[in-house]
Structure 1
Amino acid sequence: MGTVRHCVLVAALAASPAMVAPSAALAQAPDPAYMSCGELWHARNKIYARNGYCFKSARAIAVFGEGCFPPYGQLGGWEKDRVDELQMWEARKGC
């Protein structure tokens, strides 16, 4: 019985998006060249939201909430690179 529960828990954790390695998450990310302005905005701000950014615009608060927490939107590594890429495409598309 304990083995079955363990297997179910392991399977659930393996399927959890929070458990995906950063490189795997980035590999699964859509190509920004084919994203709309709205999709670019959402993808960029989703990264900030999971890093505790304190949103100020009504639109962002409506989508992601008012909750902020450390590191308060400070990004590093692949997340910073992805946000930079998304912002470049937003500018290129005139978003």
Structure 2
Amino acid sequence: MALDKRLAPDRIAPPEKRNGGNLETLVDLCPRLLALAWSPAAEAACYDVFGCTERDDFRAADLRGGPNCEFLWAMRNQIFKDRGYCFRTARAISYFGNEGCRFDDMAAVPLSRVERANAAVIAQVEREKGCPR
């Protein structure tokens, strides 16, 4: 999906009309929200038992009895890959690659509430199972 340049922030209002308007405040206060809003839609990973990473809340109880450590690691990192994270470890780069990545800082990756919660619950189950990090 290509960025619709008609919706880019500099096209909404001319600079002289933005000084002190809501757009300037939004840009200053919510850069992650804007990055998410103007980034191409990610292809979310969906799983028969658990649902899709961007819309369904994963339950720890479901994850505990199902996937092994390798699968949990891949599920968690796929969330970040889908949103443009640039991996640093040899393991992740080998598995996912870094093509098209845009964010070096994991905290800067524009995840939705559901995606962030799903990554956290997967990491929690990984810790409970004693999975290697």
Please confirm whether the aligned pair reaches a TM-score higher than 0.5, indicating the same fold. Answer: yes
Would the aligned equivalents of 1:40 and 1:90 in 2 still touch at CA under 8 Å? Answer: yes
* TM-score (structure 1 length as normaliser): 0.65
The yes-or-no answer on 1:69 pairing with 2:69 is no
Q: Call closer, same or farther: CA 1:56–1:91 in 2, change over 3 Å.
A: same
* Structure-1 residue corresponding to 2:114: 78
Which has more radius of gyration?
A: 2
Q: Which runs of 5+ in 2 are unaligned?
A: 1-42, 46-50
Would the aligned equivalents of 2:76 and 2:123 in 1 still touch at CA under 8 Å? Answer: yes
Which protein, 1 or 2, shows the higher relative CO under an 8 Å CA cutoff with sep ≥ 6?
Answer: 1
Runs in 1 of length 4+ with deviation above 2 angstroms? 70-73
CA distance in 2 between partners of 1:32 and 1:19 (Å) = 18
| Code of the aligned partner of 2:102 | F
User: For residues 11-57 of structure 1, what are the alpha-carbon distances to aligned partners after superposition, in whole Å with 9 as ceiling and x for unaligned?
Assistant: xxxxxxx489xxx6255x79311110001100000001001111011
Alignment root-mean-square deviation, CA: 2.9
Would the aligned equivalents of 2:85 and 2:102 in 1 still touch at CA under 8 Å? Answer: yes
TM superposition shift of 1:72: 6.2
CA distance in 1 between partners of 2:44 and 2:98 (Å) = 24
CA distance in 2 between partners of 1:51 and 1:71 (Å) = 12
| Code of the aligned partner of 1:82 | N
Q: Secondary structure of the equivalent of 2:52? A: helix
* TM-score (structure 2 length as normaliser): 0.48
Would the aligned equivalents of 2:86 and 2:104 in 1 still touch at CA under 8 Å? Answer: no
* Structure-1 residue corresponding to 2:52: 25
- The 5-angstrom pairing of residues 1-95 of structure 1 reads 18=43, 25-26=52-53, 27=56, 31-33=62-64, 34-67=66-99, 68-69=101-102, 73=106, 74=109, 75-95=111-131
Total equivalences in the alignment: 75
